[in-house]
Amino acid sequence: MTIDRHRKDDGPLKPVPDGPAPEPTVQRLRVRYAKRGRLRFTSHRDISRAVERAVRRAGIPVAYSAGFNPHPKISYAGAAPTGVASEAEYLEIGVNRPCDPRRVRDDLDASLPPGLDVLDVVEARDGNLADRLEGSMWELRLPGADPGEAERAVKEFLAAGLVEVERLTKKGMRRFDARQAVRWLAVVEEPGIPAGQETVQPCVILRMVVRHETPAVRPDDVLMGLRLVAGFAPPSPPAVTRLAQGPLDATGEPADPFAFDRAGGDR
Amino acid sequence: MSVESLFPRLEPLLPKVQKPIQYVGGELNSTVKDWDEATVRWALMYPDAYEVGLPNQGVQILYEILNELPETLAERTYAVWPDLEALMRSEGVPQFTVDGHRPVRAFDVLGVSFATELGYTNLLTALDLAGIPLDAVDRTDEDPIVLAGGHAAFNPEPIADFLDAAVLGDGEQIVIAISEVLREWKGEGSPGGRDELLLRLASTGGVYVPKFYDVEYHPDGRIKRVVPNRDGVPTRVFKHTVMDLDEWPYPKKPLVPLAETVHERFSVEIFRGCTRGCRFCQAGMITRPVRERSITTVGDMVEAGIRESGFNEVGLLSLSSADHSEIADITRGLADRYEGTQTGLSLPSTRVDAFNIDLANELSRNGRRSGLTFAPEGGSERMRKVINKMVTEEDLIRTVTTAYSNGWRQVKLYFMCGLPTEEDEDVLGIADLAKKVIKAGRDATGSRDIRCTVSIGGFVPKPHTPFQWAAQSDHETVDRRLRALRDALRSDKEYGRAIGYRYHDGKPSIVEGMLSRGDRRVGRVIRAVWEDGGRFDGWSEHFSFERWMAAAERALADVPVDVDWYTTRERDEHEVLPWDHLDAGLDREWLWQDWQDAVNSVEVEDCRWTPCYDCGVCPTMGTEIQIGPTGRKLLPLTVI
């Protein structure tokens, strides 16, 4: 028990650990990573454990919080749900020695299991990363669904002013509107299938851009909305992938949330 | 013939189950070897949920050793939760390994590690899901050899019908020997089918094949004798002992799961075996003699393990970790090496001794001193003499006083209820002890901010211990004493609030007792329970005492034995015990004498520091005590 670093204004002295204080954060690194294939079954907690261990194995000089139970300074923004794949997950690492973002990208990627893949690392400028993640673009693959029915359902959904859906949350069944958060929604063609290669099963692909709100509107909420407005009911559960996250502007697609950091400008 | 991955068929089921990541595999340091390049293929199972099974040291060690062998591969499989089991049944997906997602039935050996008897029903689920006949006699050459190991395999008789073979003791060398027998036999074109293979394994004397032994019974239900029923099968099967743990520094590359598990740390076994001689402790009896891993090997393993895993906690495992001859140098050396690196060190299984406080202080440098755990096991001085847990009340009070004065705020005390010769007052003595502990803490610190938690469970007599002849206490007695203790703790206004109380009720111990000391007839009970839906018996939310009792009633209706016969009945010296033909090296006459000494409260010393008292293990097994000190020290790590 030594100095009163943690003294509250009005409270008693809080005990603090003996020994030196942890080294301060000198740099924050913003990381975009993907959650692919089998690793889409990881939960947010699974990922945070995997990242903490990978950071240790990679020897990245992560900063720690003070106190009796120091935590590595790694924060996560808007993680995709368990079972959902993503090309655009974000986290931020505080380090106590300046690092080259490119080297961190390579080292962390090599250290993470295949399927958790580091795509981009930038040095953070001002501002809060989570605030820049205003919306997401999602892709839903619906094997065995009828393309015509999907088109009709999308049209009716977009024409509606309000589509109330229900979801079981920790606080019980909640009713909320799934329409207003949807900025853009369309049936798209299967991209990149080589000519002549037949798909085994016809697959309807939906893409949507959804604004992050409270309560969060998830892709499966939109899917429920399509069923409610037009009776669209695909025969099997969707394979969902988050394609992008970022600031929403008039164009519809989320912009690059790192653009500001990369430009090196200040706000 | 190559074997396809089941993953494409499993994948659509995963979004519908809890914690799907546990079935996906892909752990750091896991291995998927080429199927066709291997001759001998092992599926290793820990018969509990992934979150419990993945960290198991035994499975990780054998997995690594087998995969290092040429022509041999090993994959892992765990018990699936009922939600996935139901989907696998409806979709026809068989039991799979998490490495290559290959069907378990395609392997040559299904090796199952039983740390506890409560995994028996999960074995049946896995066999059934795999499409392997439950009864060993119904299996064909298309089925793997179902092989049991682990501490519970020292009496495999209750699951003898479901096993092809069992091995006793340390697995490191015997799995290699078994692989070699298999490789030769397959190389010859698998002559004589699985019976020939089992005969070759049995004739080594190191593999027990239950079906090569007949059990004969007396009319009153006791066993008359157990005899081999064919030539070339030895009358006794011996345990395996690895000498020189420095030669076997596994795990080298610990498995790092994505899913959350019960032990999120890298564990290093600092020694194997224990000769403290606690009479209730099966592990201490069957793992003799003590074999230490040297301080330098421990240091090297910790360094490599942290580097390979990224874990931020290291556990120094053994049955009584503070007894390592160089434990002070190990803890100080590791604490120095990892100072300032956010690496936690823990030392489970320590004894009641002020020396332990020094070790604990060393391991918690700069950290919060929250809780320390001690296990006096018995509530009264007399009781502790019966169980040979040589701790006096004075020792305990001195130890906790040191702990509280060094800034530790909470002390946890472990006890057992239902020990042989126990009376109500032995258990009520725990309340007095806990109050004295709190008083000592208050006196030492001048603070009322200290706590003590009493944790108590039912005692289960185990095979190969001096208590193998003892009557287990019935659950009514155990529960009555546990309630009386609770009332005694709560009634005291001065101390009651400072004492926490955790207990396990006595019913599960009765089932565990039947499974521990059961014979082949208990197999019918296990099967009846499983057919009635019994799964995951180690989990209180799945365990049903009533189901076990009803199944026992039905399954044992035509034999002159019942649950009480297996549990609360005291055996006499000359009764043939179901595991008498399985040899842990312990001299039966010594065990009996130790049982008599227990009843008379006669204590026995530790043979590491006093002359040999002829337990029989070293001469029978050709082993010896291997302890330091080596005089070596851990040097600081050079920063890379």
Contacts of B601 (CB under 8 A, 6+ apart): B382, B385, B386
Residue B7 with chain A: CB contacts under 8 Å: 38
Give the nearest partner residue to A56 out of B21, B258, B312, using CB atoms: B312
Q: What is the pLDDT of residue A189?
A: 78
Residues of chain A found within 8 Å of residue B308, distances taken between Cβ atoms: 57
Contact by Cβ (8 Å): B291, B626: yes
| Run of H or E including A76 | strand A74-77
Instruction: Tell me, yes or no, if A201 comes closer than 8 A to chain B by beta carbon.
Output: no
Crossing angle of helices A147-159 and A219-230, rounded to 10°: 90
CA–CA separation, B256 vs B313, rounded Å? Answer: 13
**Which of A49, A71, A96 to probe by mutation at the B interface, max B CB count within 10 Å?**
A49
**What is the pTM for the complete model shown?**
0.94
**Three state DSSP letters for B461-497:** CCCCCHHHHCCCCCHHHHHHHHHHHHHHHHCCCCCHH
| Chain A residues touching B256 at Cβ < 8 A | 53
Mean pLDDT of B320-347: 91
Residue of A38, A45, A70 with shortest CB distance to B26: A38
8 A C-beta contact, residue B468 and residue B570: no
What CA–CA distance (Å, rounded) separates B318 from B323? 9
pLDDT at A47 over 90: yes
Confidence band (pLDDT; 50, 70, 90) for A16?
low
- B14 → closest Cβ in A41, A43, A55: A41
Q: Where are the domains of chain B?
A: 7-238, 265-364+605-640
Query: Can you give the CATH number for the domain in which A35 is found?
Result: 3.30.70.580
Closest CA to B465 of B350, B563, B564, B584: B584
Interface-testing mutation among B258, B266, B306, B313, with chain A (most A C-beta atoms within 10 A) = B258
Looking at chain A from residue 13 to 42, which residues have their Cβ under 8 Å from any Cβ of chain B?
17-20, 38-39, 41-42
- CATH for B265-364+605-640 is 3.30.750.210
Q: Which residues are registered as beta bridge partners of B223?
A: B217, B576
CB-nearest to B20 from A59, A83, A236 is A83
- Is the Cβ of B141 closer than 8 Å to some Cβ of chain A? no
Of B119, B118, B112, B144, the C-alpha closest to B131 is B144
Nearest by CB to A46, which of B15, B258, B309?
Answer: B258
**Dihedral-angle region of residue B420 (phi above 0 means left; psi in -120 to 50 means alpha; beta otherwise):** beta
What was the pLDDT predicted at B432? 95
Please report the pLDDT score of residue B116 as a whole number.
Answer: 94
Q: Is residue A44 part of a domain?
A: yes
Would residue A85 count as lying in a domain? yes
For B247, how many CA atoms within 13 A lie in the half-sphere containing its CB?
6
Residue of B nearest to A23 (CA): B340
- pLDDT tens per residue across span B546-595: 999 999 999 999 999 999 999 999 999 999 999 999 999 999 999 999 99
Kindly give, in sequence order, each residue whose CB lies less than 8 Å from that of residue B295, ignoring residues fewer than 6 positions away: B326, B329, B330, B333, B628, B630, B632, B633, B634
Query: Can you name the residues that pair with A149 across neighbouring β-strands?
Result: none
Tokens (6 digits) for B368: 């919060």
Please give, one letter per residue, the 3-state secondary structure of B14-63: HHHCCCHHHHCCCCECCCCCCCCCCCEEEEEEECCCHHHHCCCHHHHHHH
In tens, the pLDDT along A119-144 reads: 999 999 988 999 999 999 999 999 88
Distance from CA of B8 to the nearest CA of A (A): 11
Q: Each residue of B420-443: pLDDT tens digit?
A: 999 999 999 999 999 999 999 999
Asked, for residue A144, whether it belongs to a domain, the answer is yes
Model confidence at B176: pLDDT above 70: yes
CA distance A213 to chain B (A): 25
Q: Which residues contact B426 (CB under 8 A, 6 or more apart)?
A: B378, B379, B380, B382, B383, B419
pLDDT attached to residue A8:
39
3-state SS class at B108:
coil
Q: Are residues A58 and A127 in the same domain?
A: yes
Total count of domains within chain A: 2
Q: Do A183 and A118 sit in the same domain of this protein?
A: no
**A105 close to A83: Cβ distance less than 8 angstroms:** no
Write the DSSP symbol of residue B572: P
Residues A120 and A165 in one domain: no
Contacts of A111 in chain B (CB under 8 A): 310
**Chain B contact present for A68, CB below 8 A:** yes
What is the structure's pLDDT at B469? 98
How many contacts, defined by CB atoms under 8 Å, are there between A and B?
70
Arithmetic mean of pLDDT over chain B? 95
How confident is the model over A219-228, as a mean pLDDT? 95
Is there a contact between B26 and A114 if contact means CB atoms under 8 Å apart?
A: yes
Type and span of the H or E element at B197: helix B193-202
The residue count for chain B: 640
User: What is the share, in percent, of chain B residues with pLDDT greater than 90?
Assistant: 91
Q: Is B28 on the interface with A (CB under 8 A)?
A: yes
Contacts of B20 in chain A (CB under 8 A): 41, 82-83
Answer left, alpha or beta for residue A19, where phi above 0 means left and psi between -120 and 50 means alpha: left
Residue to mutate among A53, A71, A223, with most B CBs inside 10 A, is A53
Within-domain flag for A169: yes
The verdict on A92 and A121 lying in the same domain is: yes
Checking if the pLDDT of A13 tops 80, the result is no
**Is residue A14, in this structure, part of any structural domain at all?**
no
Confirm whether A225 is domain-assigned.
Answer: yes
> What pLDDT does residue B639 have?
52
A261 within a domain of the structure (yes/no): no
Q: A66 and A164 share a domain?
A: no
Look at residue B104 and tell me whether its pLDDT is greater than 90: yes
Residue A177 placed within a domain: yes
**Cα A109 to the center of its chain, rounded Å:** 17
Residue B61 has pLDDT above 70, yes or no: yes
**Domain B7-238 belongs to what topology?**
Rossmann fold (3.40.50)
Half-sphere exposure of residue A185: CA atoms within 13 angstroms, side-chain side: 25
Query: Does A43 contact chain B (CB < 8 Å)?
Result: yes
Please say if the pLDDT value at position A67 is more than 90.
Answer: no
- Residues A178/A172, Cβ–Cβ less than 8 Å: no
pLDDT of residue A12: 45
Q: Is B7 on the interface with A (CB under 8 A)?
A: yes
Nearest alpha carbon to residue B147 among B161, B131, B160, B166: B166
Alpha-carbon distance values, B563 to A64, B509, B511, B519, B566 (Å)? 56, 12, 8, 12, 5
- The structure tokens listed for A212 are 């992050």
Q: What is the mean pLDDT of residues A66-88?
A: 91
Place of tokens 């005694």: B488
Give dist(CA B79, CA B85) in Å, integer.
9
Is A79 in the same domain as A103?
yes
ipTM of the complex, rounded to two decimals: 0.89
Cα gap B568→B517, rounded to integer Å: 11
Same domain? A117 vs A145: no
Does B258 sit within 8 Å of A49, measured CB to CB?
A: yes
Q: Are B154 and B463 in contact (CB under 8 A)?
A: yes
**What is the 3-state secondary structure of B110-165?**
EEEECCCHHHHHHHHHHHHHHCCCCCHHHCCCCCCEEEEECHHHHCCHHHHHHCCE
Q: Which of A19, A49, A57 shows the shortest C-beta gap to B366?
A: A19
Name residues whose C-beta falls within 8 Å of residue B142's C-beta, 6 or more positions apart in sequence: B105
Percent of chain A with pLDDT over 90: 71
* A79 and A117 together in one domain: yes
Give chain A positions within 8 Å (CB) of B21. Answer: 41-43, 46, 82
- Identify the CA nearest to A204 among candidates A153, A253, A167, A165: A153
Tokens of B418: 């239902």
Written as one letter, the residue type at B595 is W
Residues 186-215 of B with CB under 8 A from A: none
Q: Are residues A102 and A166 in the same domain?
A: no
DSSP states of A189-254 as a string?
Answer: PPTTPPTTPPPSS-EEEEEEEEE--SSPPPHHHHHHHHHHHH----SSPPEEEEEEEE-B-TTSSB
The CATH number of the domain where A189 resides is what?
Answer: 3.30.70
- Taking a C-beta distance cutoff of 8 angstroms, is the pair A242, A87 a contact? yes
pLDDT at A72 over 70: yes
Residues A149 and A72 in one domain: no
Task: Enter the tokens of residue B219.
Answer: 């009319």
Residues A125 and A146 in one domain: no
CB A243 within 8 A of CB A88: yes
Asked if B28's CB is within 8 angstroms of A43's CB, the reply is no
B446-459: pLDDT as tens digits: 999 999 999 999 99
pLDDT in tens, B119-141: 999 999 999 999 999 999 999 99
User: Are residue A59 and residue A36 in the same domain, yes or no?
Assistant: yes
Residue B456 bridge partners (DSSP)? B415, B503
**A161-186 per-position pLDDT tens digit:** 999 999 888 888 999 999 999 999 99
Supply the range of the domain harboring residue A65: 27-131
Model pLDDT, residue A9? 45
